[in-house]
Amino acid sequence: MRAYDIIARKRDGFSHSKEELAFLIDGYVQGKIGDEQMAAWLMAVYFQGMNNEETALLTHLMEHSGDTLNLSAIRGIVVDKHSTGGVGDKTTLVVAPLVAAAGIPLAKLSGRGLGFTGGTIDKLEAIDGFQTNLTPEQFTEQVNQIGLAIAGQTANLVPADKKIYALRDLTATVESIPLIASSIMSKKLASGADRIVLDVKFGSGAFMEKRQQAEVLARTMVQIGQELGRQTVAVLSSMEEPLGYAVGNSLEVKEAMDTLQGHGPADFTELCLILSGQMLYLGEVAATPEEGYTLAKQCLQEGRGYDKFLQMVQAQKGSLAHGLPQAQHRHVVCAEQSGIVQAIQAKEIGHCSMLLGAGRECKGAAIDLTAGIMLHKKTGDTVQAGEALATLHYNDAYKHRAEEVAQKLQHAYTIETETKEKTPLVWKII
Ligand code: URA
């Protein structure tokens, strides 16, 4: 078999056999097939696509390209959750303790943020001393003891995705549904979950801006889960505007803690309850997703989710004794005109937050955990000229950017006199 022939088959619109895909993926991970041939194949997939069977096979091969996490030592059905990413998306910080409090063992491997989107591990590291590097033994032991652990991914989990994703990034082949679906699902499957809830975002701050595209991605991932024996549900949710009011690591942890104490923003709280309801249903703690929603709401109202969060912080050596760290400076951005907020470009807000130091401009860069943006107005809100739209939080190192960011933030808001129908928070559940 030759990589050349595999590339030519995909270029000409044929589908691959298991042997062909295995030859390609194994060969690439082992360095026997070079970047130039893999890049050509990725471009062929970009144009010709892959059928469901090929996509599931690719996912399976990628899943097994390195270590996989064995969670069989954890008692009960392990349900995982994944978000395709967005701005102000701190749902894991609320959903994980809520479902753990309701009785599902939650063993979650999370990532770091890149570009305009944030990552759960960075957010948790805003808590003084919080350890995200757990050994597999510490991880499973903590889940068995308190029902919840959130840790960073180990170095050798799905190496095929690490290599392929880096190449896709350089060759304009990221935006391919089978490649995105296999990349996300291979990591979920290698992380050992029995059942999976996916939060697939659409809108201005999402990876897939169009609802229809997001739906195809969601259906592809659900299908992969089914083919590979893991029950999977996808919630299609809006990322037309940032989720909640807080964007930036420490600010988002504070908002998540407020939410767990019953004082969270309405949109964010609702999405957390919907996702928790689905997880409790898949974990067989609730007979229906609706019953799961009610159960999650009870855990929230009774403070049991918050207690679980505090237990996790303590178990992972974090301390909230001195509160969360805060940035040195604030800059209030005010509306230039009166009206109703029609839209807030989520991606622009994420970009503004990154420019203040809260996000990584490139992989591996250091970030400022205290920086970010607190929105004061969301779509549908009435605003008077001169009233605060948002507050920038930043430190000395980013002071020179504050004015530029304030201008950008102004432009991210659309304020008009008429009301426009708001995009529903959850569009579909698949
Ligand atoms: N997130 C991933 O993990 N992979 C992709 O391909 C796109 C988004």
For residue range 138-174, what is the model confidence (pLDDT) as tens digits? 999 999 999 999 999 876 889 999 899 889 988 999 8
Residue with the smallest CA separation from ligand 1 atom 6 is 180
Quote the CA–CA distance of 205 and 242 in Å, as a whole number.
7
Find the 304 Cα to ligand 1 centroid distance in Å.
33
Q: Where are the beta strands (DSSP E) in 309-381?
A: 329-334, 339-344, 372-375
Find the 177 Cα to ligand 1 centroid distance in Å.
10
Residue with the smallest CA separation from ligand 1 atom 1 is 184
Residue position matching structure tokens 């089914």: 226
Quote the CA–CA distance of 106 and 196 in Å, as a whole number.
11
Quote the CA–CA distance of 127 and 150 in Å, as a whole number.
13
Residue position matching structure tokens 């690591």: 249
Q: What atom in ligand 1 is closest to the CA of residue 179?
A: 6
Q: Is the distance from the beta carbon of residue 272 to the nearest atom of ligand 1 less than 6 Å?
A: no
Residue with the smallest CA separation from ligand 1 atom 2 is 184
Closest CA to 111 of 157, 83, 152: 152
Find the 174 Cα to ligand 1 centroid distance in Å.
8
Residue with the smallest CA separation from ligand 1 atom 5 is 180
Helix, strand, or coil here: 158? coil
Q: Which two tokens stand for residue 231?
A: 């029950």
Q: What is the pLDDT of residue 112?
A: 82
Q: Is the distance from the beta carbon of residue 184 to the nearest atom of ligand 1 less than 6 Å?
A: yes
Q: What atom in ligand 1 is closest to the CA of residue 207?
A: 8
Site to probe by mutation for ligand 1, drawn from 183, 199, 208, 217 as the one with most ligand atoms within 8 Å of Cβ, is: 183
Q: Where are the beta strands (DSSP E) in 289-361?
A: 329-334, 339-344
CA torsion sign for 308, 121, 395, 399 is negative
Q: Is the distance from the beta carbon of residue 181 to the nearest atom of ligand 1 less than 6 Å?
A: no
Site to probe by mutation for ligand 1, drawn from 80, 117, 180, 216 as the one with most ligand atoms within 8 Å of Cβ, is: 180
Residue with the smallest CA separation from ligand 1 atom 7 is 180
Find the 324 Cα to ligand 1 centroid distance in Å.
30
Find the 165 Cα to ligand 1 centroid distance in Å.
8
Q: Is the distance from the beta carbon of residue 183 to the nearest atom of ligand 1 less than 6 Å?
A: yes
Helix, strand, or coil here: 82? strand
Residue position matching structure tokens 């008077």: 384
**Cα Dmax for the chain:** 68
Residues whose CB is less than 8 angstroms from the CB of residue 82 and which lie 6 or more positions away in sequence, other chains included: 184, 188, 196, 197, 198, 199
Residue 161 is classified by DSSP as: H
Residues whose CB is less than 8 angstroms from the CB of residue 15 and which lie 6 or more positions away in sequence, other chains included: 50, 51, 53, 54
Closest CA to 16 of 62, 43, 48, 47: 48
Find the 180 Cα to ligand 1 centroid distance in Å.
5
Q: What is the pLDDT of residue 155?
A: 65
Rg (CA), the chain: 22
Positions marked catalytic: 82, 161, 168, 183, 187
Residue with the smallest CA separation from ligand 1 atom 3 is 184
Low-confidence ranges of the chain (pLDDT < 70): 155
